[in-house]
C-alpha cells in the first residue's frame, strides 16, 4: 500500500480506472445495440440516405419533391434551421434593442412598458408562445376575406403573401450574396486602419455602394423571366393567391414567437450593457456638445454592445438552439426532418448520430464566428470606466 500513497501513482490509477469504466459502458452499449439490431434483422449503415422519401415538405429553400432522397431532405432541414435561426436572431435583436432603450429611458411610462413586456413574455415557455401564434395565424380569415395592406400584402389563414422579385431562387441567392459581399467590403473599407489616410473616402464609399447596387440590378434584369415584370405582386385567383411569395404560418409563428421571447432576454442583456457604461463617458460626450442622438449612437450604444457582447453571443447561440421547435407546428427544420426520417426508415442510430453531429457543427460554427467578431471589435487595452 506504500505505493498508493504516492500522489502521481494514485492519479494514474484513478485515471486508468475512469477510462476503464467509460470504455466498459461504451462497449456494453455497442454490444447491446448490435445484438438487438441483429435480432430485429435491421441493416445498419448510411445507404438509406440515397433512397427516395416519398415525402412532401411545406417550406424549403431548395427544390424538393417526394422522389428526392433522404440526403436531400436532410439538407432542406439544415437550411431551414439555419434560415429560421438567423432570421430569429436578427428579429429578436431588433425587439431587444427597442425594449432595452425603453427600459433605460428617463421616461416612466416607457420604463413601465418595457418591464411589462419583459415580465409578460419571458415567463411563458417559448413552445407555448409558438403554438399560440400558430393557432392565431391559422385562424385568420381565408384568402377570399384576407386582410390586405395597399393591395400588395395579404394576411390570410394560408399565410402572409408579400410581393417578391420575379427571379429564380438561385439567382435570388446570388443577388443576396453580392449584397453581402458589397456590404462587407464597404464595412472593411470604412473601419480598417489601412485606408484611414486615403483622401476622398466618401467618394470611394459611394462608389463601392453604387457598384454593388448596379451589379444587383444588372443580375436581376438579366435573370428575370423574359416578358414579365421584375416585381410580382400577389393577387387573388380563385381560392388562393397567385404571384408574390407566401410566408407560411408555420414559419411566421416560429419567427414571431422567438423574436418576442428572445427579444425579452436580449433586452435584459443590452440593458445591463447600457448600465455598465461609465457615467463619465456619456457626460463627457454631452459636454463636447454632441446631440442626444449622437451621444446615443456614437458613444452609449457602441460601448454598451462591446461590454456585453460575450453574453450576447451566448444568448444568440441559445436562441439558435431554441428555434428547433418546427415539429410542433409542422415546419420542416432539421430536428423534424430527422424525426420524420426515423419514423419512415427506422434507421434510428444513424439518424440520431447525424442529428447530434449536425447541431454540434452548426452551433460551434456560430459561436466560433461570433467570437471572432467579438475579438475584432472588443475594446483594446484598459480603460477608465467611470
Partner 1 sequence: MAAASEMKTSSPIMGSGLQPDGLAVRLRRRYFRTPMNAAISLAGMAVLLYLGFHALDWAVLKAVWVSPDGTSAVCRDIAGACWAVIQQRWRIIIFGLFPYDEQWRSMLACLVMIATIVLSCLPWFWKPLRLSSLWCAGFLLFYVLMRGGLFGMKTVLPADWGGLTLTVFLYAAGVLIGMPMAIAMALLRRSEMALVSRMTGALIDGVRSLPLITILFTAALIFPFVLPGWLQGDKIWRVIIGFALFFAAYQAEIIRSGIQSIPVGQEEAAKALGLSYWHRTGRIILPQAFRNALPPTINQLVITFKETSLIVIIGFFDILASGNAAYGTGEWSFAYFEVYIFVALVYFVFVFSLSRYGAYLERRMRFGQH
Q: Which residues bind partner 1 (CB under 8 A)?
A: 11, 14-15, 18-19, 22, 28-30, 32-33, 36-37, 106-113, 119-120, 123-128, 131-132, 135-136, 139, 317, 321-322, 324-325, 327-328, 335, 339, 342, 348-349, 352, 355-356, 359-360, 363-364, 367
What is the spatial distance between Cα 126 and Cα 262, in angstroms, rounded to a whole number?
9
DSSP assignment, residue 295? I
What is the spatial distance between Cα 221 and Cα 231, in angstroms, rounded to a whole number?
11
Task: Considering the complex, state which of residue 233 and residue 253 has its C-beta at the smaller distance from partner 1.
Answer: 253
Tell me the closest approach of the beta carbon of residue 56 to partner 1, in angstroms. Answer: 21
Cβ-proximal residues to 281 (8 Å cutoff; 6+ apart), any chain: 299, 300, 303, 385
Task: Considering the complex, state which of residue 68 and residue 268 has its C-beta at the smaller distance from partner 1.
Answer: 268
Task: Considering the complex, state which of residue 184 and residue 365 has its C-beta at the smaller distance from partner 1.
Answer: 365
Task: Considering the complex, state which of residue 19 and residue 221 has its C-beta at the smaller distance from partner 1.
Answer: 19
Contact criterion met (CB below 8 Å) for 159 and 152: no
Tell me the closest approach of the beta carbon of residue 192 to partner 1, in angstroms. Answer: 32
Tell me the closest approach of the beta carbon of residue 15 to partner 1, in angstroms. Answer: 4
What is the spatial distance between Cα 145 and Cα 89, in angstroms, rounded to a whole number?
33
Q: How far is CA 250 from CA 80, 95, 138, 178, in A?
A: 12, 20, 9, 29
Task: Considering the complex, state which of residue 173 and residue 352 has its C-beta at the smaller distance from partner 1.
Answer: 352
Tell me the closest approach of the beta carbon of residue 326 to partner 1, in angstroms. Answer: 10
- Long-range contacts of the stretch 45-49 (C-beta < 8 A, 24+): 45/350, 46/350, 48/345, 48/347, 48/350, 49/74
Cβ-proximal residues to 168 (8 Å cutoff; 6+ apart), any chain: 223
Task: Considering the complex, state which of residue 107 and residue 382 has its C-beta at the smaller distance from partner 1.
Answer: 107
Tell me the closest approach of the beta carbon of residue 216 to partner 1, in angstroms. Answer: 36
Tell me the closest approach of the beta carbon of residue 74 to partner 1, in angstroms. Answer: 14
Tell which phi-psi region holds residue 151, choosing left (phi > 0), alpha (psi between -120 and 50) or beta.
Answer: left
Pairing of strands 159-162, 164-165: unpaired
Contact criterion met (CB below 8 Å) for 298 and 306: no
Task: Considering the complex, state which of residue 111 and residue 205 has its C-beta at the smaller distance from partner 1.
Answer: 111
Pairing of strands 159-162, 240-242: unpaired
Tell me the closest approach of the beta carbon of residue 44 to partner 1, in angstroms. Answer: 11
Amino acid at each position: 500500500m506504500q505505493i498508493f500513497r504516492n500522489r502521481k501513482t494514485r492519479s494514474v490509477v484513478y485515471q486508468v480506472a475512469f477510462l476503464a469504466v467509460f470504455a466498459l459502458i461504451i462497449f456494453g452499449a455497442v454490444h447491446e445495440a448490435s445484438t438487438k439490431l441483429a435480432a430485429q434483422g435491421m441493416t445498419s449503415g448510411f445507404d438509406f440516405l440515397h433512397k427516395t422519401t416519398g415525402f412532401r415538405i411545406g417550406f424549403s429553400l431548395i427544390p424538393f419533391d417526394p422522389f428526392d432522397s433522404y440526403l436531400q431532405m436532410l439538407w432542406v432541414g439544415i437550411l431551414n434551421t439555419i434560415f429560421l435561426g438567423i432570421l430569429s436572431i436578427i428579429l429578436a435583436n431588433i425587439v431587444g434593442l427597442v425594449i432595452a432603450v425603453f427600459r433605460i429611458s428617463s421616461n416612466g411610462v416607457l420604463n413601465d412598458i418595457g418591464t411589462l413586456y419583459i415580465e409578460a413574455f419571458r415567463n411563458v415557455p417559448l413552445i407555448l408562445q409558438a403554438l399560440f401564434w400558430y393557432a392565431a395565424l391559422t385562424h385568420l380569415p381565408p384568402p377570399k376575406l384576407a386582410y390586405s395592406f395597399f393591395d400588395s400584402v395579404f394576411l390570410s389563414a394560408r399565410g402572409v403573401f408579400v410581393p417578391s422579385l420575379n427571379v429564380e431562387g438561385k439567382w435570388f441567392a446570388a443577388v443576396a450574396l453580392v449584397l453581402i459581399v458589397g456590404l462587407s467590403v464597404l464595412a472593411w473599407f470604412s473601419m480598417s486602419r489601412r485606408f484611414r489616410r486615403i483622401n476622398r473616402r466618401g467618394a470611394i464609399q459611394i462608389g463601392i455602394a453604387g457598384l454593388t447596387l448596379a451589379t444587383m440590378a444588372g443580375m436581376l434584369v438579366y435573370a428575370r423571366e423574359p416578358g414579365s415584370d421584375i416585381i410580382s405582386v400577389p393577387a387573388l385567383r380563385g381560392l388562393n393567391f397567385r404571384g408574390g411569395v407566401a410566408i407560411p404560418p408555420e414559419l411566421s409563428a416560429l419567427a414571431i414567437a422567438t423574436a418576442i421571447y428572445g427579444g425579452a432576454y436580449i433586452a435584459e442583456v443590452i440593458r445591463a450593457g447600457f448600465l455598465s457604461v461609465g457615467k463619465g463617458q456619456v457626460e463627457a460626450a454631452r459636454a463636447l456638445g454632441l446631440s442626444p442622438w449622437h451621444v446615443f449612437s456614437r458613444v452609449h450604444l457602441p460601448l454598451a454592445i462591446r461590454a456585453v457582447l460575450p453574453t450576447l453571443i451566448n444568448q444568440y447561440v441559445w436562441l439558435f438552439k431554441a428555434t428547433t421547435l418546427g415539429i410542433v407546428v409542422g415546419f420542416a427544420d432539421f430536428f423534424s426532418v430527422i424525426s420524420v426520417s426515423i419514423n419512415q426508415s427506422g434507421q434510428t442510430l444513424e439518424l440520431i448520430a447525424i442529428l447530434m453531429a449536425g447541431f454540434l457543427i452548426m452551433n460551434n460554427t456560430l459561436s466560433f464566428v461570433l467570437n471572432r467578431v467579438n475579438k475584432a471589435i472588443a475594446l483594446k487595452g484598459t480603460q477608465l470606466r467611470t
